[in-house]
Amino acid sequence: MKISPLAGKPVESSMLVNVPKLVSAYYTNIPDPSVSEQRIAFGTSGHRGSSLKNSFNEWHILAISQAICQYRKQQGINGPLFLGIDTHALSEPAFITVLEVLAANGVEVMIADKDDYTPTPVISHAILTYNRGRDYGLADGIIITPSHNPSDSGGFKYNPPHGGPADNDVTGWIETHANAFLESNLQGVKRISYQKAMRLSTTHRHDYLNAYVNDLSNVLDMEAIHNAGINMAVDPLGGAGVHYWARIADRYGLNLTVVNEIVDPTFRFMTVDWDGQVRMDPSSPYAMQHLIDLKNHFDIAFACDTDHDRHGIITRSAGLLPPNHYLSAAIYYLFQNRPKWHKDAAVGKTVVSSQMIDRITRKLERKLYEVPVGFKWFVDGLLDGSLGFGGEESAGASFLRVDGSVWTTDKDGITPALLSAEITAHMGRDPGEIYRELAREYGEPIYDRVEASATPEQKQMLAQLSPEQILSVELAGEKIQTILTHAPGNNASIGGLKIITENGWFAARPSGTEDIYKIYAESFKGTDHLRCILEEAQVIVNKALTERTPSRDKAQTSSAPHQQTVSEAKEEWRNEGNPN
């Protein structure tokens, strides 16, 4: 991958989204459902798009909202719907559209006090809090957010009564019926004016902020953080939690500085991400440059993305921690410091997360629950307490309350961020130092990924591969131990494949939005071994996509032309004089 020369630098004025043009396009552009890119499509994080590309316009939101109303009626979901938005420019007009449809359908809607922004985990928390002890009249929720995506993006997520991301059956039903509304020119969509919707008795104000903040002491040791006087900094990245952090600091007496309280839908205060885009990704060293520059002024610094469901942790000892490093440190700490969790509570990870987690889990004598990419796979386990922790390599995680009951069933960026301070308070060492200790004990893995071109047909073939189609018996000089096309934890398809050896692995998955596939890889034997894994992975995948006759009697270990990896691109960037 090629790093933009603008990466890590302040956003230039020419890069700023034209907000009036973006919002105008939301109302005036009408999608053509015969064009696939303009249809409604729910991925792992709901429907996303841009009004400028006719993929996130008022018609989309009208259709999705009405489809959800019909789904609620079909399923007998008749409790309140908790509605939240983030700070993207398209979120406010989409909120208005959603409320107009929900109100016209008689849905009891809970909107934020003072028209405040509402993080994704806060909606999950509200749903679960309301539904606790109920068997009927259950609540659900909608979050209007494209997560950390660029400023011209819009997004729409639906969380059913379990509080987490909707599974494929639910999103498939909503997607099908919503596209039918598009195809019929919105026939059957109910709608009233926003002014009337706000006056209806079915529209209620809800104090999301204090309900969530006041409950944090039941999931974290806030007293320990207070008593230790941990010097913390947070950058909300202009996101939905911007008003939450000061309240958290005040409520628990924390030494916490909010370094940026600006809300600006152009996100002009950011530094440019790796590809030249303005993206609020707390796990990116390019997007996090402002906060990284402050690392020596604080014991711990952290940030969350725009809907606050992802975290980024910065320590004095290590700078910005790669997500896998922090997940490993958090798991190591939590399962030794939550005595009320069930002794059988498992560790949840996705198939493309680090095997360091596997090694730590074995040491802790806990069960590993490995699932495909997508936080929805952790919902049931977090809900019933059989999972103590669920985490994704993309810096998303949630974990149980101190008493072992559910906190949220969606990703929560706020609690993992504050957990970094709890870890430091209890252990006397920050998570970066703890990870270094773990690496000395269990080995130091190197993790990276590459992208390769693939036609739509090849992407479909990759998603449907079987282990028998893999001809190789070795990978980077080591015997292949396991070939997975289904996740070990729940036997769900991973939408690609994963090949594992004693000291390394790779996983290949097709992109849901581009004509590429992504290869994730890890080695416990060093950089050269990792490079061999990545190169041979491309050969293995390409061969599987071109040969349809399965036979595993030969090893295929030829190498592919080298492509620059993410880590190499970052190293090149640092060598040019940029900080970590």
* Residues belonging to the active site: 147
Identify the residue whose tokens are 């039918």. Answer: 180
What is the Cα–Cα distance from 326 to 416, expressed in whole angstroms? 9
The alpha carbon torsion through 257, 272, 414, 145 (nearest 10 deg) reads 130
Query: Amino acid identity of 155?
Result: G
Tallying the residues shown for the chain, one arrives at 580
Strands of 300-304's sheet, edge to edge?
256-258, 232-235, 300-304, 311-315, 319-320
**CB neighbour class for 549 (10 Å; exposed up to 12, middle 13-18, buried from 19):** exposed
d(CA 214, CA 498): 42
Beta bridge partners of 392: 396
Q: DSSP label at 52?
A: G
DSSP state of 253: T
Considering only CA atoms, which of 300, 307, 497, 275 is closest in space to residue 396? 307
3-state helix, strand, coil in the chain (%, to 5): 35, 20, 45
Indicate the residue type of 454. Answer: A
**Do the beta carbons of residue 449 and residue 155 sit within 8 Å?**
no
* Cβ neighbour number for residue 487 with a 10 Å cutoff: 20
> In degrees rounded to 5, what are phi and psi of residue 425?
-65, -45
**Distance, CA of 344 to CA of 105 (rounded, Å):** 44
Q: Residue 380: what are its φ and ψ, rounded to 5°?
A: -60, -40
Contact indicator for 173, 179 with CB cutoff of 8 Å: no
Alpha carbon 503 to its chain centroid, in Å, reads 27
Angle of helix 431-442 relative to helix 414-427, nearest 10 degrees, comes to 80
Angle at 506 (CA atoms; ends 500, 511), nearest 5 degrees: 140
Terminal Cα-to-Cα distance of the chain (whole angstroms): 18
Tokens of 485: 């096309």
